[in-house]
Structure 1
Amino acid sequence: MALDPYRLVRLEFTRERLAAGLSSASIDVAGHRWVYAYNDDAPRDAPVVVMIHGFTGMKENWYPLAQRLRGRYRLLIPDLPGWGESERRAGADYGFVAQAARVDAYIRALSPDRPVVLLGHSMGGGIAAVTAARHPREVARVGLFDAAGVRFRDNAFGREVLAGKNPFAVTDAASLRRYIDTVFHDPAAKPAVPWPASVGVIERRRRDAGFEQRVLDRIGRGPERFVPGDDAARIRQPALLLWCRQDAVIDPSALALYAARMPQAQQVLLDGCGHMSIVERPDAVAAAVSRLADPP
């Protein structure tokens, strides 16, 4: 039987999860089967922190941060419906509003008696903003990291999205390298994807191309693209806005646009990192999350 190259990627993800001290589970919520990582080592009264990944992302993006937060907070890190190991349903809506409703249901299922600290990265930041605004009972505090959903200063990524392209598309080794170089700025943080694991990643991304394009058309240039920024004006919870100065995806001008709508938010601008702040600067992000989750 031929070896599935993506199995090597899954094995590496399992190794990373175990190294971060996380367990794995699944749950049926909001019409989808969710797969998620979690850690319950914290005291029973510790804040519950839920982490929502971005476009083309997955729960594994959060593992470096989770490793630094475990033991202090209860951690819930799902693959969003449609992404990663979670269920994808043909014809379903995976835009900001629909996913926010699903995240609300996920929180109610897994933290029914306690509102959570909700963190979102990139697309997940947009989803977190909508969730906090429209479902405030479930969200005690919210952190938006390199978040989509506002009209930031023009950059190459944004121009390609508006032209109907997917700047994150991966079809071969060259486009995989371009993808990694786009989302990461710090060379030391860029993941190595050696052959034959790279073959598995490329094949999977090719299969997902149509799905990715449909989601991007909705959240990047469709009627929902600015819903998170509009909803952010209704967020009253304590909040954190965190960006990297060298973000080539969601230009850091977005931080000020969100801050204008969320004057209560702490603002953090990190240097020497790109779009993947949660991977490139996990120590600094962990410190900022602690200030949000454990106010004086």
Structure 2
Amino acid sequence: MRTVGSGQPVVLLLHGLVSAGDTFGAAYGALAENATVVVPDLLGFGGSMETTEATDAVAHITALDAALAALGLQHRPTVVAGHSMGGTLALRWAAQHTDRVTSVVTFGAPLYRTRTEADDHIAGMGRMEALFSGDGPLPRAVCAWMCRHRTAASWITVAFRPDLPVPVARSSVRHTWDTYSRSLDDLIRDSGWSGALDVLDRAGITVTVAAGAADPVPVPGRAAELARTRASINHVTHPSADHGLPLTDPHWCHHLVADALIDLDRTERPTSGNEIRYTCCSRREGAHARREDEL
């Protein structure tokens, strides 16, 4: 886990499946000007790969709690943001900590209501994704080979994914079959995010659901549907990005998280006279964001 900055609020950034904290690179460092930024390698992935613990949702939440407590940050106001699987984890972790979480931001979150819906969207990402979403002998065998030859597998990934920064590509093989499959089942195929959204909505905690227009992972129209039925949800669409949004346009993503910090600063200030308190404070025309201001 890496930490940057020393500001009072905490920004917790959670990566997706088959990834690590280096998904959130230098562009996110500017958040440390006003906050303490915490970027973990989630339990069972990246530098946290060596674990004998289960990696279901409860284990991930417990590990995050322990990490923040070890840093002495467990009582500070927190903005949590997550990419893909990290987005559903962010929702479920935030629902356990409504006393300190002030905002949640998700990027390309897999908000699936059924296992069938999840598998259809995973298969739509490509042949390799469809292969590894199964539990047959072939995906297990491929994963076992990667575990035995992890260095070679990491460089093969670099060759196959030249669009990714080299450290990010190499990190994508730092997990085990149990880590991968348990997280897939409990944080992507499971619909626990829905109950978490209900908790956050009742607590009045703002949730921004962001995705790229070319991202095959989110269910089309689901973010808009959720925003219609829950007052605390905003949905934002990047006009061209795919599922790699935090890497392909990190500055756009950084601004969404920075907006949440600005909102936190404003809600902590006392109001007087005709001052208006509001939750969505900016509209960046031409900067890819499409969002309704709420006054």
TM-score normalised by L of structure 2: 0.67
Give the letter for the 1:146 counterpart: G
* Alpha-carbon distance between aligned partners in 1 of 2:96 and 2:174, rounded to the nearest angstrom: 35
SS at match of 2:46: coil
Partners of 2:36 and 2:155 in 1: how far apart? 39
The residue number in structure 2 matching 1:281 is: 249
Q: For the Cα contact (< 8 Å) 1:232–1:258, is it kept in 2?
A: no
Amino acid at match of 2:164: P
Distance 1:164 1:253 in 2: 30
1:241 pairs with one of 206, 209, 221: 209
Return the match for 1:71 from 33, 37, 45. Answer: 33
Change (3 A) 1:278 1:64: farther
Give 1:93's match in structure 2, choosing from 23, 43, 54.
Answer: 54
Map 1:54-133 onto structure 2 (within 5 A): 54-86=16-48, 88-90=50-52, 92-110=53-71, 111-133=73-95
Asked whether the 8 Å contact 1:51–1:76 carries over to 2, the reply is: yes
Q: Which has the larger radius of gyration?
A: 2
How much has 1:157 moved relative to structure 2? Answer: 3.9
Amino acid at match of 2:238: L
Superposition deviation, residue 249 in structure 1: 3.0
Shift of 1:123: 0.9
Task: Report the CA distance between 1:273 and its aligned residue.
Answer: 1.0
| CA drift at 1:175 | 8.1
Q: Is 1:150–1:258's contact at 8 Å kept on the other side of the alignment? A: no
Query: Is the CA contact (8 Å cut-off) linking 1:68 and 1:283 kept in structure 2?
Result: no
Inter-CA distance 252–278: structure 2 relative to 1 (3 Å threshold) = farther
The answer as to whether partners of 1:125 and 1:147 remain within 8 angstroms in 2 is yes
**Does the CA contact (< 8 Å) of 2:65 and 2:74 recur in 1?**
no
Q: Which of these residues, 160, 164, 181, is aligned with residue 191 of structure 1?
A: 164
Count of matched residue pairs:
239
Contact 2:21 2:39 in 1 (8 A): yes
Per the alignment, residue 233 of structure 2 pairs with 265
Counterpart position of 2:195: 230
Q: Secondary structure at the match of 1:136?
A: coil
CA distance 1:178–1:208, change in 2 (3 Å)? farther
How far apart in 1 are the matches of 2:103 and 2:40?
18
Supply the distance in 2 between the matched residues of 1:59 and 1:269 (Cα, whole angstroms): 23
CA deviation vs aligned residue, 1:87-115 (integer Å, no higher than 9, x gap): 5322x221223212332333344313312
Question: Which among 133, 143, 157 is matched to residue 176 of structure 1?
Answer: 157
SS at match of 1:242: strand
102-111 or 78-87, which deviates more = 102-111
1:68 is displaced (CA, Å) by: 3.5
State yes or no: 1:144 paired with 2:106.
Answer: yes
For the residue of structure 2 that corresponds to 1:230, the secondary structure is helix
* Structure 2: gaps of 5 or more residues: 147-152, 267-295
Cα distance, 1:56 vs. partner?
Answer: 0.9
User: Which residue of the partner structure matches residue 275 of structure 2?
Assistant: none
Larger displacement relative to structure 2 (92-101 or 70-79): 92-101
Equivalents in 2 of 1:96, 1:191: separation in Å?
Answer: 27
For residues 133 and 207 of structure 1, the distance between their equivalents in structure 2, rounded to whole angstroms, comes to 27
Q: How high is the sequence identity, in percent, across the aligned residues?
A: 23
Give the letter aligned to residue 112 of structure 2: V
Residue aligning to 2:288: none
> Higher mean Cα deviation, 112-121 or 257-266?
257-266
Q: Which amino acid is 1:97 matched to?
A: V
